[in-house]
């Protein structure tokens, strides 16, 4: 299949983002896969997080379709050479 979550899980919670092969994008697979992931973990995992980058508008639309709200931003610091 063209879409799969990339999960990380600890006792405190779980995080996932979704990558979809370009040939399969725009078909709802990312939202369906992420919803299935959340359904499997929601009963025994206290906190579920969906991660996406600020410039990934498609992934942000997936989050919106699933009713997820933004709670923070990722900051990357790099050392200048």
Which residue in 37, 32, 73 sits closest to 55, CA to CA?
Answer: 73
* pTM as predicted: 0.71
Average pLDDT over residues 19-42: 89
pLDDT tens profile 32-52: 988 998 888 888 888 888 888
pLDDT of residue 51: 87
Residue 2 three-state SS = coil
């Amino acid at each position: 299949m063209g879409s799969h979550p990339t999960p990380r899980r600890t006792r405190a919670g779980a995080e996932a983002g979704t990558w979809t092969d370009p040939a399969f994008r725009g078909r709802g697979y990312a939202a369906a896969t992420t919803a299935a992931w959340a359904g499997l973990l929601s009963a025994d995992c206290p906190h579920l997080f969906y991660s996406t980058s600020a410039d990934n508008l498609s992934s942000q639309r997936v989050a919106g379709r699933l009713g997820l709200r933004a709670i923070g931003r990722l900051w990357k610091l790099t050392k200048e050479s």
